[in-house]
Amino acid sequence: MYDYKNFWKIKIARALTALIKEADPNAENIDSLQIIAETPPDPSMGDIGFPMFSYAKILRKGPPQIAQLVAAKLQSSGNKDGAVEAQGPYVNVRLNRSLTAKAVLEEIFKTNQKGEFIFGKPGTLTGKKIMVEFSSPNTNKPLHLGHLRNDVLGESISRILAVCGAEVRKVCIINDRGIHICKSMLAYKDQGNGRTPQSEGIKSDRFVGDWYVCFNKALKIEVDELVQKGMEKEEAEAKAPLMERAQELLRKWEAGDSETVELWKIMNSWSIEGMKETYRRTGVSFDKYYFESNTYMLGKDEVLKGIEKGIFYRQEDGSVAVDLNAEKLDKKILLRSDGTSIYITQDFGTAISRHKDWPFDQMIYVVGSEQQYHFKVLFTLLDKLGYPWAKNLYHLSYGMVNLPEGKMKSREGTVVDADDLIDSLRDMALEEIREKEREEEVGNAQEVAEKIALGALHYFLLQPSPVKDMLFDPKESLSFTGNTGPYLQYMGARISSMLRKSKAPLIGKNADFSLLVSDTEWELVKTLAVYPSVIGEAAAALDPSCLASYLYELSRCFSRFYHECPVLNIDNTELSMARQELSRAVMLVLRDAFHLVCIPFLEVM
């Protein structure tokens, strides 16, 4: 795969190695990976700049002198691929535009035996088995905006790792037990009167979530009454009649009470059915679902083994703990005094069972930043228990996502359901299509509006680095100008429309790409060329925002090219064909990158 930066890094490394060995024949070779490549601040200075500061100590010369010597060696060897000159402490390279354009575009048009697009697939993770856990919903409420960020991060990262050659297994742990589940169950048991999602015409996970909100509203009334009678709020929340009944329902579930378990199964099936519908809608999928109800006991045996090994210890009240002060973490309870497990115990049991199911080389947990401490403890415990793969566990932490109205709260019903948000975005996009009187041209306007909504949503959620908290503004995300998903989709649709109007057949590598030498064409070629390295960067950093930024830059470059370089209906047929194929190359890269960041590609908008 042609990578002009790497090509010149190798040349620079060889020249530096030759200089070093002139002084010391036994010196080690300079690795091209150590070479830093920069983009000069002024295009007139060249296309790539290589700073020589790092080699001053080795060669005992000033960086400007080293730059002169390196440039001289490269000049003496002859370089049809570009011109080399020293400018201060930098070796600057001005690439041969004709040769580079030809090399880059021919690479883009290559396909595998199945005729599939292969440009940008570095293969750096070939042979690696990587498991990615994301979403982790509760069955007491539908997916919401926070889940949407989690889901698109997990799905995008999985696709990026797979395109780099890894074998990826996407898993989801569904939290289907516990007191929060019993709250929804109790409210439905008291007031449901046999109603179902079908009888009420409500999406099934939303139906269950409404009962959770119903419980918490009723609980708040009871708590307020107890507080007014002089009880502390914390005590009131624990002793409120509804909470005590919910705790009793949990005890019945854990004891296997048939009536309780049957209600649990029904309500969980409603919730999960609705969630899977949202996953399908947003293009998210999993290779396997794990359920907390099946995994919450898995860690107990490991705790007992840890006691035998002297890793964990029993306290006076019978609970089991571990002292992690040496690891700069706190003491952690692993089993309560009554023998019941806690989340951390369940999680390392689940991790062990997953590795048995599918022995991974790396496991990535896509979970919010508020769980950073939890995962530090989890990974430390697994390491102490003697699992060598614990060192390959990684918490992909991401920040909170809120709306302009403020923080969302499930129990108060102020959370924005995922489907409601997508519906709203779709309706706004549909209104835009109708205002521009493009319903007939786009065909199925409802379907196109849905894809615009998903493009707007997913791009907005992936644009910032995962670690950052963010404010999701629906109106801003849907703008057809600026750094948004719909703007990127519009560029793809514009190229598709232009190529449909072309009278020329698919030219591909038969076009004369050496004609693409103007400044605007050259910037577009260079931007296309770095696509593989951007994918590699995104995979290494587990950060799709690299690709999001790249897509915006590529779209901006194409927009300039489109306005400054006529493509169709020009006198120079050969140049027209070359520009058409340059446009087609942009379309192929856009389509491929859109898939990696979960943006639907549209041929008509």
> Per-residue pLDDT tens for 113-159?
999 999 989 899 999 999 999 999 999 999 999 999 999 999 999 99
- Can you give the length of the chain in residues? 605
- Residue 459 CA, chain-centre distance (Å), reads 10
The predicted pLDDT at position 29 comes to 94
Taking domain 452-596, whether its CATH number is 1.10.600.10 is answered by: no
Specify the pairing of strand 470-471 against strand 401-402. Answer: parallel
Element (H, E) at 314: strand 313-314
Extract the tokens encoding 577: 């064909």
The predicted pLDDT at position 508 comes to 52
The predicted pLDDT at position 568 comes to 92
| Crossing angle of the two packed helices 97-108 and 4-23, in degrees rounded to 10 | 120
CATH value of 129-299+341-402 in 3.40.50.620, 3.90.1520.10, 3.40.50.10860, 3.40.50.1360: 3.40.50.620
Q: Do the first three CATH levels of 129-299+341-402 and 452-596 match, i.e. the same topology?
A: no
Sequence-ordered list of residues with C-beta below 8 angstroms from that of 447, at least 6 positions apart, any chain:
none
Low-confidence residues of the chain, pLDDT below 50?
Answer: 407-413
Sequence-ordered list of residues with C-beta below 8 angstroms from that of 267, at least 6 positions apart, any chain:
139, 181, 184, 185, 188, 208, 211
Domain-wise residue ranges, the chain: 4-95, 129-299+341-402, 452-596
> In the 8-state DSSP scheme, what is residue 597?
T
* Superfamily in which the 4-95 domain is placed by CATH: Arginyl tRNA synthetase N-terminal domain (3.30.1360.70)
The predicted pLDDT at position 414 comes to 53
Sequence-ordered list of residues with C-beta below 8 angstroms from that of 564, at least 6 positions apart, any chain:
518, 520
The predicted pLDDT at position 77 comes to 76
> In the 8-state DSSP scheme, what is residue 466?
T
Exposed (0-12), middle (13-18) or buried (19+): which is 579, by Cβ within 10 Å? Answer: buried
> In the 8-state DSSP scheme, what is residue 31?
P
Sequence-ordered list of residues with C-beta below 8 angstroms from that of 270, at least 6 positions apart, any chain:
196, 197, 204, 205, 207, 208
Tell me how far apart the alpha carbons of residues 128 and 168 are, in angstroms, rounded to a whole number.
8
Tell me how far apart the alpha carbons of residues 295 and 348 are, in angstroms, rounded to a whole number.
10
Please spell the DSSP secondary structure of 242-304, one letter per residue.
HHHHHHHHHHHHHTT-HHHHHHHHHHHHHHHHHHHHHHHHHT---SEEEEHHHHTTTTHHHHH
Exposed (0-12), middle (13-18) or buried (19+): which is 79, by Cβ within 10 Å? Answer: middle
